[in-house]
Structure formats: C-alpha cells, structure tokens
Amino acid sequence: QKEVEQNSGPLSVPEGAIASLNCTYSDRGSQSFFWYRQYSGKSPELIMFIYSNGDKEDGRFTAQLNKASQYVSLLIRDSQPSDSATYLCAVKGYSNYQLIWGAGTKLIIKP
Amino acid sequence: ETGVTQSPTHLIKTRGQQVTLRCSSQSGHNTVSWYQQALGQGPQFIFQYYREEENGRGNFPPRFSGLQFPNYSSELNVNALELDDSALYLCASSRSGSSDEQYFGPGTRLTVT
C-alpha cells in the first residue's frame, strides 16, 4: 500500500516566522512531488512541485526533496495570516497516472 | 481561478438515488481526474480520463462511472448512493495523461441523506 504521511497538526506559527511542513512517502519509485494549499470549504490549489533532490524556491515558498530519506518538505518564509490553511502533500510514481495524497497539515498563523 | 469549472456546487440526494456531476477542463488540457474528499482527509483518486478513455482507476466500486467528451469535459456518475458517498467531489484537469500539475475545479459538495 503506497502511503503519504503528514502530521495533521494544527501547526501554530507566529506571523513573520518560518513555517515548516513535512511529508514522508513509502514508494521509493515516486518521481513527482506536489504541495497544495486548501482553504476551508475550497478546493486544493497547487503551490509548488519538485522532481529533483534539493531545494526549489518560489517567492516565499521553498520545497525540499530528499529521495534517499523519502522526505519532502515545504517552508513558508515571512508567514502571513492568509497562509492559514491545510497543506496537502501529493506524490506520483514514474508510470503511475494517479496522485497519492496525504491527509494534510493544518497551519495556523497567529497575528 | 484555474479555469476548471464544476456543476452543481451543492447537491442533496437520498440513499439509493443516482447522481451526475459535471466538469469542464481548463483550456489546453486533455486529461481529467476525479477525486472524492471526505471531511478531514486528503483527496482519494476515483479515476482519470485521457482523450475520452479511462486511463486508470482507484479503489472505488463499479457504481462510480465516468465519461469524457470530445471537448474534454467530463461526467462522474454514481449509482445506488450510500450515506458514505457524502463528500466533496473534485475534478482536476492536466495537460496530458501523465497527470503532472493538476488544477482543480471548485468541487461539488454531495450530501446523501
């Protein structure tokens, strides 16, 4: 059974601090890794994707991938109250057509 | 906004009934994936359609079926509704059958009573 694990939270972070969200996956053949943000009652919104080991930065967001440890993370710098949401990690294998999703981490940014 | 639309927004059905949900993909996308998301859970993959053919299916019973049309819009049909089918149904479109970079519509909230 291919699994993606996330801490459900809530993770509470002061405004302006760095929020760190983590995700582990069980399938060593996984090739593509995605972070989605989901506000309450809304659909998931793609934030970032990463395919290679290392860091990928996009504005205040940095995705980090370590395939040897089967670990992917998302850092949010200068956290804002509008970043308060559930963050979903999704993983796809090389020949798979489907995304495997974690249950999400609820992030709360305190003003 | 992703350009992916879904209808209806909300729906209330009775156990045993049938329901059809609709999705229009983003311009330039030929692949549609359907997901079921229960409260507090991540999306669960139902199936994917690529160029009008089912390209893969998750662990859902046959009473969940779908279609994709020549314009790449799609339908999800659920027969013999059960209480556990109450969920947010999400449609996501992507540029190809590889499913990378999926963009979601707003979802349909289905309540089965």
Interface residue ranges in chain B relative to chain A, Cβ cutoff 8 Å = 2, 33, 40-45, 48, 50, 55-56, 58, 88, 90, 97-107
User: Please, are residues A25 and A31 in contact by the beta-carbon 8 Å criterion?
Assistant: no
Residues 6+ apart with CB under 8 A from B46: B33, B34, B35, B36, B57, B58, B60, B64, B66, B76
pLDDT at A95 (0 to 100):
60
Higher pLDDT, A39 or B56: A39
Cβ of B48 within 8 Å of Cβ of A98? The answer is yes
pLDDT at B2 (0 to 100):
75
pLDDT at A16 (0 to 100):
97
Among A49, A92, A98, beta carbon nearest to B58: A98
User: Please, are residues B36 and B19 in contact by the beta-carbon 8 Å criterion?
Assistant: no
CA distance B15 to A83: 38
B75-102 tens-digit pLDDT: 999 999 999 999 999 999 988 755 578 8
pLDDT of B1 > 80? The answer is no
Among B42, B56, B101, beta carbon nearest to A97: B56
A6-57 tens-digit pLDDT: 998 899 999 999 999 999 999 888 889 999 999 999 999 999 999 999 999 9
Per CB-CB distance under 8 Å, the chain B contacts of A104 are 41-42
pLDDT of A97 > 80? The answer is no
User: Residue written as tokens 């209330």?
Assistant: B12
pLDDT at B27 (0 to 100):
87
Cis amide linkage into residue B8, ω under 30° from 0: yes
**Nearest 5°: CA angle at B105, between A29 and B18?**
95
pLDDT of A69 > 90? The answer is yes
Q: Which chain A residue has its CA at the smallest distance from B4's CA?
A: A43
pLDDT at A44 (0 to 100):
95
